[in-house]
Structure 1
Amino acid sequence: MDLSLRTETFGVDDQSWLGSEHGTQATEPVTLDTSTFTPATHYPDGYFRSGIPLGQITAGGKFGPYDNAASDGRQTLVGFLYAAVKAPASNTVDVAGALFVHGKVRASRLPVPVDAAGRADVPLIRFI
């Protein structure tokens, strides 16, 4: 039995990018391909930020950050990471998350901006 003292820190999830409650009960489970994310941009504090725009990688079906210039499937926005997820210590370990696919999004409060092409990809999301 290990009775040593341990400390764990939890991040604060900023969901101010959500424009309404609509759609929050209908998220979809996804696997995040950690190797496609940039630590300083997507998880600077050790957590993948809530509201990161996501695209689905064609080979394998995992999800990574939306990038209109990508050619691996991530050039099509499919939704947003609904809640913050603790990033693994290694970028070779993938983690599970929840995908927000319809509802209202406050574009100015997203942790990573979405261009016009990305906005056009998600007809069930209304940007306010």
Structure 2
Amino acid sequence: MPRIQTETFGSGNMSWLGSAHGINNARTEMLDYSAFTKATHFPDGYIPSGTAVAKVGGLLVPYDPTEGVVTNAGILAGFVLTDQKVVGTADFAVPLLDHGRIKTANLPGGFTKPAAAAKVSATTFVFA
């Protein structure tokens, strides 16, 4: 008898999107698995849709909103567009939204838009 596994796929809670603008242009980027922790970033096994990320060394890492951060982790690269199941410990590809309208109150983890223009220099977002 073969093993049967049921798996549910979905886009997650995308209420953080303020419009459809940009979703067809999300680009594929590699997420640095080692930069994310299970307890903090994916306790249910998924990196949630709307997770803010920065790009360090060519890989996506959690965005650090602290204004004093001088590393690339403090520069917003965008948001993970859809829920991403974490399987194993290898880095993996995710869709990155780098422009569009964002409802900050609906982002996971309590996001505050960057105060300094340099913190969002690689993106074009309207924060609502």
The TM tier, using the shorter chain, reads 0.7 to 0.9
Identity between Structure 1 and Structure 2 (%): 32
Return the match for 1:96 from 76, 93, 96: 93
- Which residue number in structure 2 is paired with residue 125 of structure 1? 125
Q: Does 1:86 align with 2:85?
A: yes
Please give the alpha-carbon distance, in whole angstroms, between the structure 2 residues aligned to 1:68 and 1:98.
21
Please give the alpha-carbon distance, in whole angstroms, between the structure 2 residues aligned to 1:11 and 1:119.
37
Task: Note closer, same or farther for the CA distance 1:8–1:72 as it changes in structure 2 (3 Å cut).
Answer: farther
How far apart are residue 72 of structure 1 and its match?
A: 4.4
CA displacement 1:93-126 (0-9 Å, x = unmatched): 1010011011111111111233343684336111
Q: Does 1:28 align with 2:27?
A: yes
Aligned residues: 122
Please give the alpha-carbon distance, in whole angstroms, between the structure 1 residues aligned to 2:116 and 2:108.
15
- Which residue number in structure 2 is paired with residue 6 of structure 1? 4
Task: Note closer, same or farther for the CA distance 1:85–1:54 as it changes in structure 2 (3 Å cut).
Answer: same
Structure 2: any 5+ residue segments left out of the alignment? Answer: none
CA displacement 1:64-103 (0-9 Å, x = unmatched): 110135554211111000111110233xx10100110111
Please give the alpha-carbon distance, in whole angstroms, between the structure 2 residues aligned to 1:46 and 1:71.
30
Instruction: Indicate the larger mover: 100-109 or 110-119.
Output: 110-119
Q: CA RMSD in A?
A: 2.1
- Which residue number in structure 2 is paired with residue 108 of structure 1? 105
CA displacement 1:22-62 (0-9 Å, x = unmatched): 111111110000111121222111111110001001x3x01
**Paired residue secondary structure (1:40):** helix
1:66-81 paired onto structure 2 within 5 Å: 66-69=63-66, 72-81=71-80
